[in-house]
Amino acid sequence: MACSIPHPGAGSIRKRARTAPAFGKDKICAEIGKDPRAAPAGNGSNDRRLLLGMFNLPFIDSFLLRAFRYRTRGFLRMEEAPGTVPPAPREGQGYLYLHVPFCEVLCPFCSFHRVQHHHGQAQRYFRSLREEIRLYHRAGYRFSGAYFGGGTPTTEPGELVETIALVRELFGVREVSVETNPKDLRPEILVPLRAAGVTRLSVGVQSFDDQLLKEMDRFKKYGSSEEIQAHLRAAAGMFPTLNIDLIFNQPHQSLASLERDLDIIRSLGANQVSFYPLMTSPTVARRMAGAMGLPDPRRLREFFTTIGARLQPDFTPTSAWCFTRNGQGSDEYIADADYYVGAGSGAFSFIDGALYTTTFSLETYAQRIAQGLTGITTRHRLSSGDLMRYSLLMRMFGLRLDRAWVLRRHGPRFFRRLWGELRTMEWLGAARRDPGGWQLTERGRYWLMLMMSAFFESVNDYRDAMRAHIREEQGESDTLCVPASSPAGVSK
């Protein structure tokens, strides 16, 4: 990731900025508001300004996205793994992620592992999920928090509450996050969730623009903007954290529409907002191209800058794309936890320097659990260099790289190995060094947003590959699996 950023001492990019026909010195100077004739070649601070100006050119974001995507793809070179429980880490703080893949409608822009909700299948799935949780507990795992994501975990509220109770009983977790959709913000669902100890409810709203909701095929199922706002106002205050997920850079989203969304956010009682760029996979991009068009990466910067400017100072950034009210801390477990375990189908784990994924087939998942195994089917052990870059990416996503944490985790060789990346981030004004570590700047937050979306697009590519694989086995067209009662079972 960060090593994809040009190294200031390496010379090649710097040289190109001096002569720069490829990027156009006049264009760069115009971008930074400078007369090109007044930018003599070879002056260090002018070179830096020229290079920084180059990073503001619209096409550079597409280039960076491709470069980061290429670089992060290496994190996911998965190979087959036995389904046994990986040894429990002896130290560090762990987090439990639980994937619930069922949704009532399958939105055309969504790259997550999700399948059409089917009551009987979902009930069986939750039973397997609870078995897998017990397996990790017996193997000695301990977690400080749990995150139920999907899909839509609240499609089966009773099963969800029972599973939360089990997680709390076994691990005594302090934090429980649950994802939901606007339609499920009803007392009969929310009151039991609050009683079960949910501390953070995250609502996938995506947009408050009725036209965009229609394009996303969410208007009919999840309600109009007015209805969604009414549900959110009613839910505000029920949980310590109410998070709203929104997407920017949608194909037909205008700046005015985004600004209206931001004003609505500020007027609602939610105390957290996660504003993601629209991330796709090749399959989803093909599907979207026909249904709702494609996002334009050249608009990312303007949207991102508008979000930051409009939400602050009421909200403060707690990760590259999350904002909280009243200076509340971050709760991005991938940035904060030392390791995380993904239970369920289509989940990712990061344990002791290795990434794991579980099967995307619900049938195979159920069979593996019945055999006393986890859902894990693949693994990739990161090289020591990639492991450090992974740490750098995740920690900087959480806005800060703490020196003491790095020393505990990787030892002093981290600073020798990633000296170039850290120095480059400082030189480009993406991070500021202080006695305790490195703090991401506003400029750096934009680049981290690009890096993380590139990383998640690599994850989406992987999901695509799994989808294709399973589809071939079962002759399915879109969903990844079928009800267990179907004769077309899957074997992966």
As measured in angstroms, the least distance from the Cβ of 486 to ligand SF4 is 21
Nearer to ligand SF4, 283 or 367 (CB): 283
- Say whether 371 sits in a helix, a strand or coil: coil
Nearer to ligand SF4, 181 or 281 (CB): 181
42 burial type by CB count under 10 A (0-12 exposed, 13-18 middle, 19+ buried)? exposed
| CB count in 10 Å sphere of residue 168 | 15
Q: What is the CA radius of gyration of the chain?
A: 23
Paired strand residues for 204: 245
As measured in angstroms, the least distance from the Cβ of 150 to ligand SF4 is 5
Nearer to ligand SF4, 106 or 230 (CB): 106
Nearer to ligand SF4, 110 or 337 (CB): 110
Instruction: From residue 408, give the alpha-carbon distance in Å to each of 44, 80, 102, 208, 387.
Output: 36, 31, 39, 44, 14
As measured in angstroms, the least distance from the Cβ of 110 to ligand SF4 is 3
Paired strand residues for 100: 150
Q: CA 35, CA 57: separation in Å to the nearest integer?
A: 17
| 12-19 vs 44-54: helix crossing angle, rounded to 10 | 90
As measured in angstroms, the least distance from the Cβ of 247 to ligand SF4 is 9
CB 324 within 8 A of CB 316: yes
Nearer to ligand SF4, 6 or 295 (CB): 295
Binding site for ligand SF4 (CB under 6 A): 103, 106-107, 110, 112, 114, 150-152, 181, 204
- Which residue is listed with tokens 């267990």? 484
Q: In sequence order, what are the residues at sequence separation of 6 or more whose Cβ sits closer than 8 angstroms to the Cβ of residue 22?
A: 16
Q: In sequence order, what are the residues at sequence separation of 6 or more whose Cβ sits closer than 8 angstroms to the Cβ of residue 104?
A: 117, 152, 155, 181, 183, 221
Nearer to ligand SF4, 205 or 355 (CB): 205
Nearer to ligand SF4, 20 or 115 (CB): 115
Report which residue's Cβ sits closest to ligand SF4.
110
Instruction: From residue 58, give the alpha-carbon distance in Å to each of 14, 186, 285, 289, 302.
Output: 19, 43, 21, 22, 10
As measured in angstroms, the least distance from the Cβ of 99 to ligand SF4 is 10
Nearer to ligand SF4, 4 or 250 (CB): 250
As measured in angstroms, the least distance from the Cβ of 437 to ligand SF4 is 35
Nearer to ligand SF4, 151 or 398 (CB): 151
Residue 447: name the closest of 321, 359, 273 by CA: 321
As measured in angstroms, the least distance from the Cβ of 187 to ligand SF4 is 21
- Tokens coding 113: 């592992």
As measured in angstroms, the least distance from the Cβ of 217 to ligand SF4 is 8
As measured in angstroms, the least distance from the Cβ of 361 to ligand SF4 is 18
Task: Kindly tell me the sign of the dihedral angle through the C-alpha atoms of 461, 465, 466, 470.
Answer: positive
